[in-house]
Amino acid sequence: MTETTHQPQTQEKAEGAIARFLRSTELDPRLIGMVGALLLIWVGFHFYGEIVLGDGSFLTPRNLWNLSVQTASIGIMATGMVLVIITRNIDLSVGSIVGVTGMYMGLMQVEWLPQYLGLGHPAIWIITAIFGLLLGALIGALQGGMIAYLAIPSFIVTLGGLLVWRGVAFLAADGRTISPVDTTFALIGGGPYGSIGSTGSWIVCAIASAGVIWLVLNGRKNRRLHGFPLRPVWAEWFMGILGCAIILIATLVVNSYPWPKGILKDYYGKLGQEVPEGAFIAHGYAIPVLILGVVAILMTILMTRTRFGRYVFAIGGNPEAAALSGINTRAMTVKIFTLMGALAGLAGVIASARLNSATNALGDLDELYVIASAVVGGTSLAGGVGTIYGAIIGALVLVSLQTGMVLIGFGDGSYRKIVIGAALVLAVYLDIIYRKRIK
């Protein structure tokens, strides 16, 4: 296949250093833009705090760790919303699905299962979590079925769902708040005990770095195998080192956020010891953040490496062509909404575990943040375009704005809403300009 190797790019000479850098590394300029915006927001909040309040508290391990935990449930749902929006649909019901699954999981682990298994039985958390996922999936399948087979627009079906499931969440326990949840279940929400500590985090760091290196090497091997042009060696090194550096920095940050004194006392107290002088136990990665990481990897594989992912993009690009290619577009719609529902169920697990209780307001307005995350992350409402990593960065941007406003003393809901609403519109506007320019 020698004739297919190098197709010399005629514009090579004319292109600038930045263009050459982008082409060699194959980095998506939009990704760089999003990460740049995120860093700008972080630095902005930090220095505003530093200068105006005399205390820059944004870029601290404590805040960044909290940020990661708060992003988890929105981020998980945003990965599913990407598929929904790519196929030209919308799901307004995810916040209410969080509420209804959270509520029934609360009832299950606090009021139903302990009757049969006994309080604190080790199987309670897993049965409850699986139940929550399945309930979410079932609701998603029901809505997807109506969209696909009854041809009711997804906007209407899920707007109905938004109201219906919130109502069901209230009726499930007559508006009561159910707490506390099972102690093992609560770990899924994060917190000092719901984190994997310093050693665990270093192991995660090592595995993730190995994964990055494997990706780079394997990509190169594959291209060589088929005689495609290879990326320059420096670009491969750059990508490998960049990936590992980000993982390393994240690990350093979560490992330098210590357990607070109260938790230390509680921990050593349970061991029957005094808190040693200068005791330092790091949080490390929180469990919900690891769940988000795993979901992100699996969803990325699903979207970029499987037929299912291809079909999602094809349906978004041209539903008629997808159908003519033998893709069962209706079944795909049901599957996508089922997946979305299951992810909302998973977010329900994390949200109720983190709150250590189930309330009927759980997940309220989440649908807006989730949709905004996907859209800020570059998912096009016109369909056909979107990435998983984009949605997660989008979620990070929105949650950063939210927590940043609180940190600098604008925690009052109204300011937050104004800023986030404006940021959403601005982000989409910038994306439109960008897309026009590359055309």
**Does residue 320 belong to the site contacting other proteins (CB under 8 A)?**
yes
Site for other proteins in 57-116 (CB under 8 A): none
Q: What secondary structure does DSSP assign to 43-87, as a single string?
A: HHHHHHIIIIIS---TTSHHHHHHHHHHHHHHHHHHHHHHHHHHT
Site for other proteins in 262-301 (CB under 8 A): 301
Nearer to other proteins, 135 or 327 (CB): 327
For the chain, how many residues are written?
Answer: 439
Site for other proteins in 227-246 (CB under 8 A): 227-228
Q: Are 97 and 345 in contact (CB under 8 A)?
A: yes
**Does residue 375 belong to the site contacting other proteins (CB under 8 A)?**
no
**Does residue 385 belong to the site contacting other proteins (CB under 8 A)?**
yes
CA distance 91 to 254: 33
Least distance CB 28 / other proteins (angstroms): 13
Residue carrying structure tokens 């570059």: 378
Segment contacting other proteins by CB under 8 A, of 67-75, 283-291, 309-317, 407-415: 309-317
**Does residue 436 belong to the site contacting other proteins (CB under 8 A)?**
no
β-pair partners for 178: 358
Least distance CB 219 / other proteins (angstroms): 10
Q: Which of 85, 196, 314, 340 binds other proteins (CB under 8 A)?
A: 314
Q: Which of 321, 331, 365, 432 binds other proteins (CB under 8 A)?
A: 321
**Helix residue ranges, H only, 150-280:** 154-172, 183-187, 197-225, 233-255, 261-270
CA distance 410 to 165: 32
Least distance CB 30 / other proteins (angstroms): 15
Q: Which of 53, 222, 249, 435 binds other proteins (CB under 8 A)?
A: 222
* Side-chain half-sphere exposure of 337, counting CA atoms within 13 A: 30
Largest CA distance in the chain: 75
**Does residue 151 belong to the site contacting other proteins (CB under 8 A)?**
no
Segment contacting other proteins by CB under 8 A, of 254-262, 271-279, 283-291, 312-320: 312-320
**Does residue 20 belong to the site contacting other proteins (CB under 8 A)?**
no
The SS3 call for residue 178 is strand
**Helix residue ranges, H only, 108-196:** 113-117, 124-149, 154-172, 183-187
**Does residue 323 belong to the site contacting other proteins (CB under 8 A)?**
yes
Segment contacting other proteins by CB under 8 A, of 15-23, 160-168, 318-326, 343-351: 318-326
Q: What secondary structure does DSSP assign to 84-113, as a single string?
A: HHHTT-----HHHHHHHHHHHHHHIIIIIH
The alpha carbon dihedral of 48, 53, 55, 61 has a sign of negative
**Binding residues with other proteins: total (CB under 8 A):** 33
Q: Which of 273, 318, 331, 435 binds other proteins (CB under 8 A)?
A: 318
Interface with other proteins (CB under 8 A): 1, 3-4, 7, 222-223, 225-228, 301, 305-307, 309-311, 313-314, 316-318, 320-328, 384-385
